[in-house]
Structures are given as C-alpha cells and as structure tokens.
Structure 1
C-alpha cells in the first residue's frame, strides 16, 4: 500500500509540474497574441507613414517641375511676343513706305528718292525667332523610377551573424569580438553587440546577477572592448544585425575566458592603524579601525583561495586559525590580500600616495609574523618607498636592501610567476622593469602591503600585460642581478 501511495504521489507531482508548464505556455501564447496585434498595428502605421512620406516627396518634385515649366513658358512667351510686336510695327511702317516709294517713282524730284532710301534702315530686322517653341527638354522619363517602385517590397529580416571564436582575442584587459554573416547583405545598417559577465562557462543562465550590456551602432564586423576589469572568469557575447527597419535574431552566445587575478584586502589581517575598504587603505593615526562588518560576510579571515585552483563556482575559503581581528601590530603596518597564489602567472597594480612617509608592496608567506615588517624577514619580498628625512626606493628581502636607480612611479605593477619563482615590479604606465626577485617559493604566497602616514589603492582583475610577458621571456635565460636578495 505504501508503494502505491508513493507511486501515486510521484504521478501527482508530475501532473502538477506538467499542469504548471501548460499554464505557463498558455500565458505565453496569450502574450504572443497580444504582441502580434500590437506589432502588426505598429508596422502598418509605419508602412502608411512611409507611403505618406513618399507621396509628399513626389508631390514636392511635381510642384518644382511644374514651376520650372511655367517659368520657361513665361520667359519664351515674353521673347516671342516682344519680337512679334516689333515685327508688326515694322510691317505697318513698310506699307506706308511702299506707298511713298510708288509716288516717288512717278515723280521726277530727286529729294523723294533720298527720303525713301533713308527710311529703309529701320526695316533691317532679323527674321529668326529669338526663342524656340520646342519644350521637349523638360520632358521626364519615369520608367526607371516606376520599375523601382513596382519592385518595392518588405525589407528582409537580416541573417543571424556567427561569432568566430578562433578570431576573437582576449589580452591586455581588452576583448576583440569578430563575427561573419552567412552571405553579404548590403541593406544591413549596423550591428548590436551585447555582453555580460559570468562565472559559468557555456550558455548564459537566466538567474545570473550580471545584466546584458548593450553596444549599438557598430558598423564593422568586429568590435574591441577596452579598459575592462576581469572580476569574473568569463564574458558571454552575442550579436545581431539590423537594417533600416528591422533587427535580426541574436547569434548563438559565445563565452570567452577572461581569467585574471582578483582579490580583496583582508581587513582581518590589517594593523589597527589601517582603515581598509575592499581595495583601498588609509592610515589612521588615531588607531581606530572603522570597518564595514557587513562586507566581512562575503569573505573569511584567511586567504585560502587559490586562483590556480579556482572552480567555476564561488571560491571556498577556510576560516583562519588565528584569533582576533588585528593580526599585525607594533610597527608592522601591514595588510594582506584575501587570496593566496600557489601556481601560475598573476599581475596586479597599486596606486599609492607618493607623499606617504613609508610604503611597501610585495608578497609574503602565510607564516609572516605579526611583528614582521615587509622585506625584513625571509618570509616576504617587497619594494619599499622611504619618504622620511630622505626619499629612497629599495628592494628588500630577508633584511637585505638594494637601492633602485629609477624614477618613482605613481602606480607599480606586480608580476608573479609562482612556478618559476619570479617576482617582478614594473612602472605600470611605461612597463619599465624596476626590479626582479628570483627564488623558489616553498609555500603559497599572498599579496602584501604596508603604509605609514599615507594611503594606497589596489587594482585587481588585470591580466598579465603583453609587454610584461614578452619582457619576461627575454629575461628568462639571463642570470638574476638580484640574487643577493633572494
């Protein structure tokens, strides 16, 4: 009896699910009918508007041509009437002169001959019409236009583009998307490209938080997005073609990997004199930490997440084994990132206040002591800016320092190749190499920062720049000039 009830329960559940699907489909059909009515009315109104506009153009052209004919007729009429009037007057005068000539012939007086001869001069008129009566040059042949109008038909819906994944490029925090059409279409006016961020490979999921971002008015078969920050692992793209009247269907969505190193600053690891806000830090001389507790709910106290091992789902971070919020103390004005590095190549940048009394950026092992200052133990490597008494920029590791002979940039780029044991620092604007540590990391490392009487902010979600990668390849075969610090 129990098995029968369970079977019936399953059947009931299946029927309920099916009933819900049918109900949803009925709602969809009703909405489609409403949309059909509205869309058909809209296109009919658009068609009537276009024909009205076409009629207006023809009426205007007709009016202009009729005016031209009237002007030409009036001009020629004036010329011919003037010539006719002059000839009529000459004809009347010639009859009088003819009678005078006949009388002179009958007379023997010499004065009569001279008078008749002088009177002939005004009658030397041109007997050629000044204007033609031919108006054929104003005739219009509408056969070609009539053929065009008779061939008038609805614009076809543009074909669906296809994104060429093999030609798309993702580098230097830019994405170039390339697509093609099944066949050339001269009536296409522009393309619409949409993209959305995602942490899932494959088709976009309905319940994802990230919305579609729309780019309109694209005239070419490719588009490059610049200035991106890759804070998700993938970006999904789709594109559609549009002519003057209608848009086609979207292409099949294509997902491109946009892997980059992303982290936040771990407020639980910071010195009590540092005010930490996700990716920015400000020195607080009063020693009071003002933290947003709600932000702590999204991350734990220990940087156990590795970008090399990150899955498609949200990263898992284990709770810290160290009690208390204030890890660093005394003169170790340090804060760590919340994500560790245990493989691969990573890159991030740091903008800092050059007026800071002291600032340092680098990496550290998780074993870095709470009293340890960056670069003064074997567990950390860094570039250190000293702005106290005399300004200097040094590379530090294991309490050894080397002064760097280079300009102090506003932003420093940090490159890590964990597998090859390379830590390099760059001028982020020029990509000029400032210093390289070469070592062998025995444990996972964590981005580390120090500031005293100053502030800084971190830029994450950045790919390794092409110039940095090419420079690293060139230097891979050379010996390290910084071996004494490793």
Structure 2
C-alpha cells in the first residue's frame, strides 16, 4: 500500500510539473499573440510613414521642376517679347520711310528733289531695320527640361522589405585576450551594405562552453559598433571565462545572435585575510590602514569545504591554481609583536600570477612580497627563509631594499606609487616591477617546496591591492628575455 501511494505521489508530481509547464507555455503563446499584434501595427505604421515620406519627396521634387519650367518660360518670353517689340517698331519706321521715298519719286517738282533724295538716303542708312538681328534671342525648344523616370520607376517597383541581416560568426582564432583587454573579431557569410551597426554582448562566467540557462552575471551590451571587431578595455577578470555573442542590425531590424564563444580570461584574484592580520591593521577586502590604537580583534570567518593545510589542496594545475586558503592560520594566532603583516586568502601552487599594490609612500615602513603559510606569527617579511619581499623604510632615511632570509640588497631605482608583483611558481621566480612603466626592480629565483601566498606589511601607513589582473605582456616579454640568464640576485635566493 505504501509503495502504491509513493508511486501515485510521483506520478501526481510529474503531472503537476507538466501542467505547470503547459500553463507557462500558454502564457507565452498569449504574450506572443499580443506582441504579434503590436509589432504588426508598428511595422504597418512604419510602412505608411516611409511611403508618406517618399510621396512628400516626390511632390517636393515635382514642385521644384514645375518652378524651373515656369522660370525658364518667363525668361524666354521676356526675351522674345522685347525682340518682337523692337522689330515691330523698326518695321513701322521703315514703312513710313518707304512711303516718303515713293512720294518723292512720284513728285514732278524738280526744285528741292536733290535735297529730298539726300535726306531720304541718310534716313534709310540710319534706319533701325538695318541694326536689327533677325535671329531669335531665345529658343522655343523646352526639351531639355523633359524627364525620364523609367529607371526610377523600375527601382520603385523593386522596393521590398529589408532582409534580416545574416548571422555573424566570431573568429575565435583572431580574438585576443591580453593586458586585461579582449578583442573580438567576427565576419559575415557575405557582404551586406545595408548593415548600419553591430551589437556585442558579453558576460562573465566560471565555465567553458555555451551559456547556461541560469547565470550569475547579466549580459553587458555594447551598441553602435561600426566595424567587424571591437576591443573591451579596463576589464577586471574576477572569473575564468567571458562569453561573447554579436548580431548585425540594419535600419529596420536586428539579426540573430552569433553562436556564443567563451574565451578564457584567467587572472589572479584574491582578498586580504583579516584573520591573519596584526591587530594594529584595519583590514578591508583589498585595503589596509594602520591603526595605532590596535583596533578590535576581528572575527575569523568559518568557511565550509576548506582544508586545514595547503598541503592537502587538490592536485595542482595551471588553470585551477591559485587556490583559496583557509581563513584561519592553522595552529597559530594572527601576526603579532612587530610583525605588522597580513596575508592574502588565496594560495599559489602553480602557473604565473600578477597583482599590483598601491602604497602610501609616506608610510614609515612598507613591504610587499610572498610567503609560505608556515611563516611564524612573530616573523617579519624578508627576515626568514619563508618570505621574499621588497621593503620600503621611511623611518630615519628613505631606502628601498629586497629582503629574504634576513639578507637585504639596496635597490637603486625610484620608488613607484604602485608596485607590480609577478610570480612564476613553476620556475621559482618572484619579480617586482614599477607597475606604471613595467621597469623591473628586482627578481628572486628559488625553488618553491610548498604553496606560497601574497604577503604585505605596513607600519604607520596604508596600502591597497589591485587583483583580477592578467600578467602584462610587457612583463611576460621581459621574463622570456631573462629566463636564460643567471640571476644577479642569487645571494638573496
């Protein structure tokens, strides 16, 4: 009986889920019908508007052409009427002169004939009829203002709805990810001069492959792209991947999105572990400020599924490293005495990592570097074999030194506002850079026997950390050049 009830409950649950799916689909269909009605009315109104604009343009062109014909006709009429008036006056004068000459010839009087003949001769010579041009000043031909709209008519007869733009294809081989920027390149199946712009969407994700139904991050939209490529700058890569898709748009409609492409944007991300910090340090996620009063003991956050030792972390891999370390320092309290130190919450046990530190150069003392998790609670950075660092001293006189195993080397370089830290765990390299100029300040070379962790120290000052950064290409290039050379810092390794 119990099994039958359980079976019936399962079937009922399945049916209820199916009914909910059908109900949701019915709502979707109803919404689609409403959208169809609204979209149909919208495109119909757009069509009416476009044809109205076309008619208005043709009417305006017709009025302009009619005005041109009227102006041409008026101008020629004026010329011809003036010429006609002048010719009529000349003809009237000539006829009067001709009548006078005939009367003189028919007169029988001899007295005064000679003088009369001379006067008539002079009048004929000066008559307007002999100064007139008998060629019309204006033509009556208006054929140059006739039109032939046969080609335009064919073009208008060929009007049709704009086609939906083709779906672009992202060229993964041409896309680039470097220096916290991503350049996306795409192509179309065939050229389309109707395309006005492209829309690119991207979002962060922690998995490789096509988008999933439920994602933690929303799509970010970049509109109005004119070219078939786009570069995203100023990114902070706090996830391993970014997914991209693009579509083309003409004046009327947007095409389908391209197949999503996921690119690896791996970068080193961590926060400061307040549970490890000296009590005189006020620790935020990525910033630290000296507090001479000592502050209150910060509570140690307990996190599930964390190992008690970095040695128990999963097998190392370049992609999965670095790893989150335990928030509490196993078997010991926070740093104390004169070890004004704080560690990061993420270990490095493989691969190449990079982060930057913005320091207050007015701090009385400051250090940045890496350390083993076994660093003692009284140990100061650089004064034991478990840490490597660059140290700024502002107490008596300003100095910048590289420190390891209680050995120090003075660095002959300007003190930057921001220091870049590069770690190549597999090669045993720790390098420090001027983050702005990418000038190498110092390099330690060693062989790590266990995972390391970013470490910081400050006394009477403050600093902030910038994570989510990829290894800059300038740093990678410099490391490749120096990989085959011996280290000048061997005495400190």
Q: Tell me the TM-score normalized by structure 2.
A: 0.91
Deviation at 1:11, TM superposition (A): 1.7
Match of 1:289 in 2: 296
Partner of 1:110, secondary structure, is: coil
**Using a 3 Å threshold, how does the CA distance of structure 1 residues 321 and 386 change in structure 2: closer, same or farther?**
closer
Name the residue aligned to 2:108: 108
Cα distance, 1:308 vs structure 2: 8.4
Contact conserved, 1:104 with 1:112, CA < 8 A, in 2? no
Q: Deviations over 1:244-288 (max 9, x none)?
A: 110011111111111111001111111222222111112223322
Instruction: Tell me the distance in 2 between the aligned counterparts of 1:139 and 1:225.
Output: 56
> How far, CA to CA, are the matches of 2:481 and 2:168 in structure 1?
41
Contact 2:343–2:454, Cα closer than 8 Å, also in 1: yes
- 1:308–1:344 CA contact under 8 A, matched in 2: no
- Offset, 1:312: 10
Deviation at 1:14, TM superposition (A): 1.6
- Call closer, same or farther: CA 1:273–1:88 in 2, change over 3 Å: same
- Deviation of residue 4 (structure 1)? 2.7
Larger deviation: 290-299 or 58-67? 290-299
Match of 2:183 among 176, 181, 184: 176
Measure, in 2, the Cα distance between the counterparts of 1:228 and 1:454: 29
In structure 1, the residue matched to 2:357 is 350
Distance 1:416 1:315, change over 3 A: closer
Aligned to 2:47: 47
Deviations 1:156-189 (A, max 9, x none): 1011111122222211211111112222222111
Deviates more, 1:202-211 or 1:377-386: 202-211
The 1:110/1:186 distance shift into structure 2, 3 A limit, reads farther
| Displacement of 1:121 | 3.5
Aligned residue in 2 for 1:453: 460
C-alpha displacement of 1:296: 9.4
> Deviation at 1:470?
1.7
Change (3 A) 1:300 1:50: farther
Aligned 8 A contact 1:265 1:277 in 2: yes
Native 8 Å contact 2:308 2:330 kept in 1: no
1:342 and 1:443 in contact (8 A); partners too = yes
1:301/1:413 CA distance change after superposition, 3 Å: farther
Q: Deviation at 1:456?
A: 1.3
Mapped partners of 1:363, 1:111: distance in 2: 143
- 1:349-374 Cα shifts (integer Å, max 9, x gaps): 11112222221110011111122111
Query: Structure 1: any 5+ residue segments left out of the alignment?
Result: none
Of 290-299 and 66-75, deviating more is: 290-299
Indicate the larger mover: 36-45 or 111-120. Answer: 111-120
Contact 1:269 1:327 in 2 (8 A): yes
Question: Is the 8 Å Cα contact of residues 162 and 251 (structure 1) preserved in structure 2?
Answer: yes
Query: Is 1:202 aligned with 2:209?
Result: yes
Runs (5+) with no aligned partner, structure 2: none
Q: How far did 1:320 drift?
A: 5.0
**Which whole-Å CA distance do the structure 2 matches of 1:390 and 1:88 have between them?**
115
Matching residue of 1:418: 425
Instruction: Assess, with a 3 A threshold, how the Cα gap between structure 1 residues 392 and 466 changes in structure 2: closer, same or farther.
Output: same
Contact 1:260 1:346 in 2 (8 A): yes
How much does 1:242 deviate?
0.6
Change (3 A) 1:175 1:419: same
The alignment's TM-score, normalised by the length of structure 1, stands at 0.93
For residues 383 and 109 of structure 1, what CA distance do their matches in structure 2 show?
A: 141
Provide closer, same or farther for how the CA distance between residues 398 and 216 of structure 1 changes in structure 2, counting only shifts above 3 A. Answer: same
* Higher mean displacement: 117-126 or 217-226: 117-126
The answer to whether structure 1 residue 193 and structure 2 residue 197 are counterparts is no
On the 8 A contact 1:178/1:222 being kept in 2, the answer is yes
The structural deviation recorded for 1:291 is: 6.7
1:314-345 residue CA offsets vs partner (Å, 9 max, x unmatched)? 99856555489971222211111110111111
- Quickly say closer, same or farther: Cα 1:456–1:319, change in 2 above 3 A: closer
93-102 vs 202-211, which moves further: 202-211
Superimposed CA distance per residue, residues 1-50 of structure 1 (whole angstroms, 9 cap, x where no aligned partner):
33333322222222111111111111111111111001101000111111
* TM-aligned CA distance change 1:295 to 1:370, over 3 Å: closer
Deviation at 1:205, TM superposition (A): 2.7
| CA-CA distance at 1:153 after TM superposition | 0.1
Measure, in 2, the Cα distance between the counterparts of 1:111 and 1:82: 43
Secondary structure of the 2:76 match is: helix
1:67-89 CA deviation, whole Å, 9 max, x = no partner? 11111111111111111111111
Per the alignment, residue 14 of structure 1 pairs with 14
Alignment partners' CA distance in 2, 1:342 and 1:315 = 6
Instruction: Give 3-state SS (helix, strand or coil) of 1:446's partner.
Output: strand
Q: What's the C-alpha RMSD, in Å, of the aligned pairs? A: 3.0
Deviation at 1:208, TM superposition (A): 2.1
Q: Structure 2 vs 1, CA of residues 320 and 48 (structure 1 numbering), >3 Å: closer, same or farther? A: closer
Q: Deviations over 1:427-484 (max 9, x none)?
A: 1122111100001111211101111222211111111111211211111111111111
Is this contact kept in 2: 1:191–1:240, CA < 8 A? yes
Partners of 2:164 and 2:219 in 1: CA distance: 23
CA distance in 2, matches of 1:114, 1:361: 133
